[in-house]
């Protein structure tokens, strides 16, 4: 429950809520958060539309009750990282793009047969994929069956991988969602844009961390003493 001292304070709260909900909506549509994921003890198939060549130093952290929040570590760029300072260690992630062949039903009842997703794997998964990439020359246009064990520590992107067959990517264009260009549908995501590091101040705001005392961002304007008003100003 909230209690406000004035209408202005209440209106400011409403505006902040609108901005927060809009940001949540935009984040939900951000491919960086729309990642390939498998439940424990399941099996599925994917078609790779890119090789595994992009690497990023990434953080995953809890916010608003869930852990599906990801930000690029800026320590190597800025010399410091607010997320690192919050005792959240980064990890090396390898990134590619896949067409997930697992059908599912949206909350509104819409049936989805295939979907384009970001696949982000850590060291164990990266080694498995890179060995196959080296042996086959490329992952692009290759269909694999992935399975995830029931082991709680098993990677969410699959613990086992088996090659199925080569796929003509042009044939996948027909499954592009309505309103999406078919060529774009089979084009890998722009990883550099998706994982572009935020500024230190943006990361502090994302984490709800105050600037260090004495930093350039830690400043408050000194208010001038209020001037005594004349009677003409008051009536």
pLDDT digits (tens, 9 = 90+) for 140-186: 999 999 999 998 888 899 989 999 999 999 999 999 988 889 999 99
Domain segments of the chain as ranges: 24-210
Question: What pTM was estimated for this model as a whole?
Answer: 0.76
Q: Which of 10-14, 90-94, 107-111, 154-158 has the lowest mean pLDDT?
A: 10-14
CATH of domain 24-210: 3.90.198
Contact in structure between 68 and 28 (CB atoms under 8 Å)? no
Two tokens, residue 187:
């084009």
Question: Does the structure show a pLDDT above 90 at 20?
Answer: no
Short-list 175, 195, 193, 194, CA closest to 185: 175
Q: Tell me how far apart the terminal alpha carbons of the chain are, to the nearest angstrom.
A: 38
- Tens-digit pLDDT profile for residues 97-130: 999 998 888 788 888 889 999 999 999 899 999 9
In 30-154, alpha helices (H): 75-78, 82-85, 123-136
Q: What b/e sequence results for 163-178 when a residue is b if at least 16 CB atoms lie within 10 Å of its CB, and e otherwise?
A: eeeebebeebeebbee
Choose among 220, 217, 193, 162: nearest CA to 56: 193
Strand partners, 72: 58
CA 105 to chain centre: 22
């Amino acid at each position: 429950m909230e209690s406000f001292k004035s209408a202005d304070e209440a209106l400011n709260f409403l505006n902040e809520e609108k901005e927060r909900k809009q940001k949540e909506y935009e984040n939900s549509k951000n491919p960086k958060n729309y990642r390939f994921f498998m439940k424990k003890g399941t099996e599925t198939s994917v078609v790779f539309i890119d090789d595994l060549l992009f690497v990023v130093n990434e953080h995953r952290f809890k916010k608003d009750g869930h852990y599906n929040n990801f930000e690029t570590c800026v320590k190597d760029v800025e010399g410091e990282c607010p997320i690192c300072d919050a005792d959240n260690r980064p990890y090396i992630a390898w990134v590619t793009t896949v067409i997930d062949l697992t059908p599912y039903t949206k909350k509104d009842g819409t049936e989805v047969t295939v979907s384009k997703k970001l696949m982000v794997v850590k060291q164990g998964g990266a080694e498995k994929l890179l060995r196959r990439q080296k042996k086959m020359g490329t992952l692009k246009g290759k269909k694999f069956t992935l399975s995830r064990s029931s082991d709680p520590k098993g990677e969410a992107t699959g613990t086992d991988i088996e090659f199925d067959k080569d796929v003509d990517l042009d044939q996948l264009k027909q499954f592009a969602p309505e309103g999406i260009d078919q060529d774009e549908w089979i084009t890998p995501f722009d990883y550099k844009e998706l994982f572009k590091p935020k500024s230190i101040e943006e990361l502090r705001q994302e984490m709800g961390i105050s600037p260090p005392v004495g930093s350039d961002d830690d400043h408050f304007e000194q208010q001038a003493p209020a001037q005594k008003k004349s009677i003409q100003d008051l009536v």
